[in-house]
Amino acid sequence: MLIIPAVDIKDGKCVRLRQGLKDQATVYGEDPAAMAVKWQEAGASWLHVVDLDGAFSKKPVNVKAVEQIRRRLTIPLQLGGGLRSLEHLRLYLDLGVDRLILGTAVLKDRQLTEQALQKFPGRIAIALDARDGKLAVEGWVETSDQDAVAIAQALSPLQPAAFIYTDIHRDGMQTGPNLAATRRLAQNVAIPVIASGGVSNLTDIANLLPLAHDGVIGVITGKALYAGTLDFQEALRLARQAATP
């Protein structure tokens, strides 16, 4: 299972939000690219980047910061936040971003979602950000009545690169990932699933590892790494051990 560090960008800085609330930000670094390099040097094989300003503004905002990250990394990175048109997607693909994440567009613009999956095969992941199993959009400000698993099943024939499942109630709270909801999603689709939200320590990683048998290929972690409650090297070691026959 991949252990994927998160670099969330707000006002050009590396931050973490509490439950996605833009007024609940903690700054962990002035230079997102330097932070990205830190995780690469620590052994990360993927990096997760979010343009938080983009998510709230509905358009790419921290393009320069993302470009700097891409220039300084050799590992692949995935990016979400403010991607609302094919032009937005092409902008970042042209910068060399390996995988783009659509979230709000899944509910608000199904045509864009389907076009993106068809035009950029293998390059588009779908973010399923949920409160009590229902999808939330617009930077998590709005909660819909749409079931995350049902949406995933509807999009699976278009072969997204992955579904990224986040339990919003747990994001940034370090209360442990929602194992049941993550497992339910993975068992109901044939597309790889990446877990996100709630990881606080090595025990949480250990609890997620058995879900690899259901199709969970990775976990995104941010707050726990920055707060120091999760040792990245130990998490990598544990994941490697679990993958060894």
Q: Which domains does the chain have, with CATH numbers?
A: 2-243 (3.20.20.70)
Question: Which of 129, 122, 121 is closest to 103 using CA atoms?
Answer: 129
Average pLDDT over residues 153-182: 84
Q: Is 213 exposed, middle or buried (0-12, 13-18, 19+ CB in 10 A)?
A: exposed
pLDDT for 143 beyond 90: no
Q: Which two tokens stand for residue 151?
A: 């949406």
Tell me the percentage of the chain whose pLDDT exceeds 70.
90
Q: What is the pLDDT of residue 14?
A: 83
Task: List the catalytic residue out of 98, 129, 171, 204.
Answer: 129
Task: Write out pLDDT tens, residues 218-244.
Answer: 999 998 999 999 999 999 999 999 988
The backbone torsions φ and ψ at residue 120, rounded to the nearest 5 degrees and listed phi first, read -125, 65
Q: What is the pLDDT of residue 167?
A: 81
204 is an active site residue: no
Average pLDDT over residues 54-60: 91
DSSP state, residue 225:
H
- What is the reported pTM? 0.91
Least confident of 10-24, 98-112, 149-163, 203-217: 10-24
Torsion of CA 101, 104, 107, 113, to 10 degrees: -40
What lies within 8 Å, CB to CB, of 173 at 6+ separation is: 18, 19, 198, 223
Task: Write out pLDDT tens, residues 206-222.
Answer: 999 999 999 999 999 99
Average of per-residue pLDDT values in the chain: 90
Task: Write out pLDDT tens, residues 175-191.
Answer: 688 899 999 999 999 99
SS3 call for 88: helix
Q: Return the HEC string of the chain.
A: CEEEEEEEEECCEEEEEECCEEEEEEEEECCHHHHHHHHHHCCCCCEEEEEHHHHHHCCCCCHHHHHHHHHHCCCCEEEECCCCCHHHHHHHHHCCCCEEEECHHHHHCHHHHHHHHHHCCCCEEEEEEEECCEEEECCCCEEEEEEHHHHHHHHHHHCCCCEEEEEHHHCCCCCCCCHHHHHHHHHHCCCCEEEECCCCCHHHHHHHHHHHHHCEEEEEECHHHHHCCCCHHHHHHHHHHHHCC
Distance CA 205, CA 82 (A): 29
231 is an active site residue: no
